[in-house]
A and B are shown apart, each in its own frame.
Chain A
Amino acid sequence: MTAPWDSAFESILRSVLRTLSDAEPLRADLELAAAGLDSMASVELLLMLEETYGVEIPDELLQPVTFATAGSLWQAVSGLPSAEPRA
């Protein structure tokens, strides 16, 4: 099964999940908190996503449910207007 997200998203997420080895696949149901995503890493993740996709993630999406899994986060980011990776 191919990943539902683009390579930029995968690369950003892997950079903040330091316990996820390169050999392990990034699954849509991966629980981010269990993989080491704490509040500080969430802030870094937010900033990188906003920069890369040229979006502003609204406050109402800054909830645990958004950051629960790789899939839930991608769903939120990809649903934002003009969520295309910048060249």
Chain B
Amino acid sequence: MTASGQTVDDVLTDVLETLRKHAAHADKEASFPAHGMASVRGSGLLGFLVPVEYGGWGGDLSGLVRTAQRLGGACLNTATIWAMHCQQVDAVVRFGTRELKEELLPSVARGETYLASITTEAVKGWSFVSAQSPIVPGADGLHLDRWAPVVSGGAHADGFLLTMRAAPDAPSHEVSLVYAGRDQVSVECSGDWDTLGMRGMENVSLKLSGTVPERNLIGGPGGFRTVASESAIPLAHLGLSACWLGAARDVFAQLIGHLRDPRRKGGPALTSDLVRERLARIRLDLELVHGYLGRVTQEVAEVREGAREVRAEVLQIHLNSLKLAASDLSFRAVDRMVELAGLSTGYSSSSPVPLERALRDLRSASLNYSNDRLWTANGALSLWDRSVTLA
């Protein structure tokens, strides 16, 4: 609850209505969901994870995944942008300097500062926890000069969290995370985002250069590995899994409404055992993702609060498993809905149930931080955990 006494549910109704209204437009035009994000900004939800002392909601991880699901059901693009923003906020809250928090967080809570992430680099075998472009320390601060091939919402963000090599003579695995406000640096964006789905993400390539004060370092020099394992990686997997589940769940609700509509003409017979089995299989995928999402969210929260000890490798297996399950099963559920609904309702962009869009959007889930990499990582990590510590 905020200082104004509002709860998330109080503001979500209006936000969800706006998101639903404009989701198809962002998809059709492959443009940033400007109306949706304006609504999110106005609602104060950018400050969901901002502590109350800085004017935010002081939300926790279970609230985050609940809200991400609801937003994801209305507009998966806006929900994903919001979840990624919250991931940046969490890093600042947990690892930012006091000065940076005082400078940045109140404006995030007011909806004035939307944060994007710059972690990609154009190198073969790129890894989330390595970086080539170095921070160059100078008398006036930290010089940044960074090019990134893929930045979600880069043309619209008000500030960026960048991964950079810690120093010109540091190895590529010694990575610092640093904040750069759009007003502190020069930013050039280019790109032609025209994809099968998630068309509103408007991913761009981005060149950023400028100088920022040392207080903008998040997690200290070379501290990104800790920020990644305690904040960025868990928040990314929890947030996006929740968004995908929310999208699949909402479209399933709409499909059931459509199937039960007495005015419906044609389509599957609800008395058919085949139809019922298909419905049950869809439901099962959603149940499994929902249950596991809740379980892993609770585990991460307890570990972060120090209430529980879980070996780092084991927690990583659980987070990777969540991402793998949520991306595969949410997509499979929607694919089965398409099969069940048939050509006109399931496969047409003019269908009353936006299954076609959900199918295209969720096809990206396995590609977003590639599942191929997570499968092999989890296989290797499983060898490490002979006692098979399940979530």
Stretch of B10-18, B70-78, B265-273, B378-386 lying at the A interface: B378-386
Measured CA separation A32–B150 after assembly (Å): 31
Q: Which of A8-16, A42-50, A69-77, A79-87 contacts its partner?
A: A42-50
- Is B387 touching A59 in the complex (CB atoms < 8 A)? yes
A48-81 vs B, CB cutoff 8 Å, 1 = contact: the mask equals 0000000000010011100000000000000000
How many chain B residues touch A (Cβ–Cβ < 8 Å)? 17
Residues of B near A40 (CB, < 8 A) are: 377, 380-381
Residues of B within 8 A of A62 (CB): 311, 313, 384
Residues of A in contact with B, size category = 10 to 19
Min C-beta distance of A6 to chain B, whole Å: 24
B316 lies within 8 A of A39 (CB) = yes
Q: Contact check: which of A38, A59, A63, A64 meets B173 at CB < 8 Å?
A: A38
B63 CB within 8 Å of chain A: no
Contact B313 A39 (CB under 8 A): yes
Q: Which residues of B contact A34 (CB under 8 A)?
A: 174
Chain A residue numbers with a CB within 8 Å of B387 are 59
Report the minimum CB–CB distance from A14 to chain B (whole Å).
15
Q: A43 and B386: CB pair below 8 A?
A: no
B381 touches A43 (CB 8 A): yes
Task: Tell yes or no: A36 within 8 A of B by CB.
Answer: yes
A46 touches B171 (CB 8 A): no
Chain B residues with CB below 8 A from A36, complex form: 171, 173
- A interface, CB within 8 angstroms of B: 19, 33-34, 36, 38-40, 42-44, 46-47, 59, 62-64
Show the binding face of B for A, using Cβ within 8 Å.
129, 171, 173-174, 225, 311-313, 316, 377, 380-381, 383-387
- Interchain residue pairs with CB less than 8 A apart (30): A19-B171, A19-B173, A34-B174, A36-B171, A36-B173, A38-B129, A38-B173, A38-B225, A39-B312, A39-B313, A39-B316, A39-B381, A39-B384, A40-B377, A40-B380, A40-B381, A42-B313, A42-B384, A43-B383, A43-B384, A44-B380, A46-B383, A46-B384, A47-B383, A59-B386, A62-B311, A62-B313, A62-B384, A63-B311, A64-B312
